[in-house]
């Protein structure tokens, strides 16, 4: 019985870790989606600041637009790096989640086997007692 209680405690801990990893995975997915939205926004910005044909511009304006586009390009690169890092984290968490799920299932299996063994032992003891009672009853009647 004590072993079963220890197994059940361990099982609850494994389930807690599994739930924590699932929550972490969800947060990373939200973070990745936010990075993706920011990247799309950043990639759309330079197109909004393009000059049409025949529009008079000054050198200062062209220089400012050039600097702005350069800064946006740098931000796009940084955002892509953030997305790549988040993807790596997501793969890592996914692998850990699979391993933790395996631990949870192993714990469930061990508990089931232990409970089955205990029930089998109880059944044998009960059958042994019933056999003894039947034998005593038989001996009294003789």
Question: What is the CATH class of 2-141?
Answer: mainly alpha
pLDDT at residue 104 above 80? yes
pLDDT band at residue 75, thresholds of 50, 70 and 90? very high
Q: Where are the alpha helices (DSSP H) in the chain?
A: 2-48, 59-141
Q: Give residue limits of the domains in the chain.
A: 2-141
Distance CA 108, CA 92 (A): 24
- Give the total residue count for the chain: 142
- pLDDT averaged over every residue in the chain: 90
pLDDT band at residue 51, thresholds of 50, 70 and 90? low
pTM of the model: 0.70
Mean pLDDT within 93-116? 94
For the chain, helix, strand, coil in percent to 5 are: 90, 0, 10
């Amino acid at each position: 019985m004590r072993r079963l209680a220890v197994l059940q405690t361990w099982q609850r801990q494994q389930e807690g870790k599994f739930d924590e990893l699932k929550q972490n995975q969800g947060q990373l997915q939200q973070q990745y989606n936010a990075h993706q939205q920011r990247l799309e926004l950043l990639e759309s910005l330079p197109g909004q600041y393009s000059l049409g044909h025949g529009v008079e511009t000054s050198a200062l304006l062209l220089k400012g637009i050039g600097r702005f586009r350069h800064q946006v390009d740098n931000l796009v690169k940084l955002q892509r790096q953030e997305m790549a890092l988040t993807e790596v984290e997501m793969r890592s968490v996914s692998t850990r989640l699979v391993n933790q799920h395996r631990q949870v299932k192993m714990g469930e299996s061990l508990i089931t086997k232990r409970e089955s063994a205990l029930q089998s032992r109880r059944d044998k003891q009960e059958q042994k007692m019933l056999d003894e009672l039947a034998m005593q009853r038989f001996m009294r009647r003789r």
